[in-house]
Amino acid sequence: MTVREMTFILESAVSVAGLITWWFWLQSDYACDSFRQKEFALRDEMFDFAASGAIAFNDPAYAELRLLMNRVIRFGHRITFWRVVQMLFLDNIGERVQNAGSFFLEWEKSFKNIPDPAVKTRLNVFRVELALLIVRRIKNDSVFAFLLWSSIVLWVRVFQAKTSASATLERFFRPERIEERAWESAG
């Protein structure tokens, strides 16, 4: 091995070590802080919505959603890809699903009692934004989760492109259309 090759190997090893350190230490701390900051912003936006008089602060649907947001902010550091995998496959999931189900049943019950459809829509938007933040947090938590998520998205995009391309080709190259063009060009 030449000195140049040894230098290249050493530089590559240091770069990989730096990337691993960045991803598992610095980036994960930043991702958690960023997630919590976005959660605070979402909760503040929901508070401003209630403060505008659109919904009462003591309304059960608002209170349930605020409680969920507060729990997500408090335990945001525990929302990781590997903990979700552990919860789904290793823990006794029955009790957790039952607890989550009871929350959603309570929320749905109180949500149905809101008379104004605009308020219902806005609260539902807050709930969906919360879910999307959680999904992004899980996706960006680990390299494995990121690669898994990217692979799934790529597969879906390729499938959509394949379906779209075959539909376009089928529409454009229908046998009767080809025959029409042949007659037009011959005419």
Same domain, 74 and 122: yes
Is the model's pTM score more than 0.85?
Answer: no
Same domain, 76 and 165: no
Work out the number of other CB atoms within 10 angstroms of the CB of residue 85.
14
The span from the CA of 146 to the CA of 140, in Å, is 6
Same domain, 179 and 128: no
pLDDT value, residue 37 = 94
- Percent of all residues in the chain with a pLDDT value above 70, rounded to a whole number: 76
Q: What is the CA radius of gyration of the chain?
A: 26
pLDDT one-digit tens code per residue, 67-120:
989 988 998 888 887 787 777 776 665 565 566 566 677 778 888 888 888 999
Instruction: Please count the structural domains in the chain.
Output: 2
Identity of the amino acid at 100: A
Q: Which domain holds residue 184?
A: 143-187
Residue 165 falls inside a structural domain: yes
Both tokens of residue 115? 């008379």
Most confident of 20-29, 88-97, 124-133, 155-164: 124-133
Burial class, 110, CB count within 10 angstroms (exposed 0-12 / middle 13-18 / buried 19+): middle
Treating both helix axes as pointing N-terminal to C-terminal, what angle do 28-51 and 117-139 enclose, rounded to 10 degrees?
A: 170
Same domain, 135 and 97: yes
